[in-house]
Amino acid sequence: MGDMRESNRVEFKRELNDKLEKEVVGFLNYHEGGVIYIGVDDDYNPVELFDVDSLQLKIADRIKNNILPSTLGLFDIVKEELEGKPIIKVVISSGTEKPYYIRSFGMSPTGCYIRIGSATQPMTTDNIDELYSRRVRNSLKKIPSPRQDLTFNQLKIYYEEHKLKLNNSFAQNLNLLTEDGRYNYNAYLLADENNLPIRVVKYLGTTKKELIENQDYGNRCLITATNRILDKFESENKVFAKIGYPYREEKQMISRTAFREALINAVVHNDYSNGGTPIVEFYSDRVEITSTGGLPLGLSQEEFLRGITFPRNQDLIRVFKDVDLIENIGSGVLRILEEYDKTCFEFMEHFLRVSFKYRENTFEYDNDKKAHDTENDTENDTVKEEVILKLLQADKKISANKIAKETGYGIATVKRYITKLKDAKAIKRVGPDKGGYWEIIDDKK
């Protein structure tokens, strides 16, 4: 017998059946969202599932096409193993445009459901009317872009790098248009040029008293801005190292994983409707990432810290997920809490701040050995090259994007160090960019 039970947030299904849409709608309309496990019995024991990859595609297709309003960016489908057998985990966020309903039944008690306890119940007409009256009307897809002469060359490149091609209908498919066919605010945020600054500021001490650097990484596609800030972080982050046999030990002044998750969360969950943008601030003892908007209405601090999601900008989340900047919905906060305790989050009425204290070099060294603090550029280069080379040795077909995801480095940083390794004759590309592999020339590097 498994150690998990059905609850207000968890539903078990032995197989994919015709009740999927009902259960998904119930969680979309519930303020905490939920998870559906497919391939388990009532006691959370695995049952046999066949053709799991095909099942995942069917589930995604049914959720996208059979439920309204749009569910893009509100669900995630993950293949997991339970006692050696494959199961499917469908993670559903609480939606921002309630009430959600089954398309074929419309916005009625036969089409609208909500989770109550461990069951999914039909909503009353009064419930439906109340939710509809509170539906968010200032969502970014309904706000026209302040400019209509937008281009999307950067966005198209990111999609092509992930073997996804944007056709002539991409603006409609990605919800970048208002109901009357104009570019909306999502489009503005993802366009090659916009007028939204995203600042990275550096102070000399622990307060804002002495400003020593103030750079703007925004005014461009949000994906590009995010990657540039991740690259900037690499230049600021120290990696302490101790050379030993047979391995080199490393400690990061700031966790790459935590910073990456905090930055991406700030970017995709920021409330852009009020004109505010995220800001990153480096002090002498910490780094802070602040986004505007506070917690979405209806989401408590406790729920937030448990990884429950209430996406403010689901269309941005969908795009960031397409280009692998987001892995699994709701995993960002939990990854941060694996590295830091919950006091790193500061909740304010109109802002949400994450603060990471700098870690110190706690390595102990013999008197005849020197500490290897990789805060200097040369040592940082060596560390990054070694990390990337090890990943190439482990998987000769690994992509630059996957390396970026596993290391927390920005994609531009990964490509730069791959070029350095090629120039140093440590690696060689065999075959085309797509379908080829890396040959390790010098395994002793």
> Residue 379 pLDDT more than 80?
no
Q: Which pLDDT tens digit goes with each residue over 103-124?
A: 999 989 999 999 999 999 999 9
Report residue 315 as tokens.
Answer: 């269309």
pTM: 0.68
Residue 372's pLDDT is 43
Give dist(CA 433, CA 419) in Å, integer: 13
The helix (H) or strand (E) run that includes residue 372 is: strand 372-373
Residue 425's pLDDT is 86
**254 closest CA partner among 289, 204, 211:** 289
Residue type, 163: K
Report residue 444 as tokens.
Answer: 């002793």
Give dist(CA 262, CA 401) in Å, integer: 19
Residue 376's pLDDT is 43
Q: What is the CA radius of gyration of the chain?
A: 24
Tokens 């969680």 map to which residue?
Answer: 27
Tell me if 261 sits within 8 A of 325, measured CB to CB: no
Coil vs helix vs strand at 68: strand
Weakest mean pLDDT among 62-76, 185-199, 336-350, 417-431: 417-431
Sketch out the chain's domains with CATH numbers. 10-133 (3.30.950.30), 137-375 (3.30.565.60), 376-440 (1.10.10.10)
* Cross-strand partners of 354: 289, 345
Q: Which pLDDT tens digit goes with each residue over 141-184?
A: 888 998 999 999 999 999 998 888 889 999 999 999 998 999 99
> Residue 373 pLDDT more than 60?
no
Give dist(CA 71, CA 98) in Å, integer: 11
Report residue 40 as tokens.
Answer: 């388990």
Residue 331's pLDDT is 82
Tell me if 324 sits within 8 A of 163, measured CB to CB: no
**32 closest CA partner among 119, 121, 95, 111:** 95
246: which residues sit within 8 A by CB, 6+ positions away? Answer: none
Give dist(CA 295, CA 297) in Å, integer: 6
Tell me if 333 sits within 8 A of 304, measured CB to CB: yes
Tell me if 187 sits within 8 A of 225, measured CB to CB: no
In degrees rounded to 5, what are phi and psi of residue 222? -55, -35
Give dist(CA 345, CA 143) in Å, integer: 30
Q: Is 175 exposed, middle or buried (0-12, 13-18, 19+ CB in 10 A)?
A: buried
Q: What is the dihedral of CA 141, 144, 147, 151, to 10 degrees?
A: 30
Query: pLDDT class for 364, splitting at 50, 70, 90?
Result: low
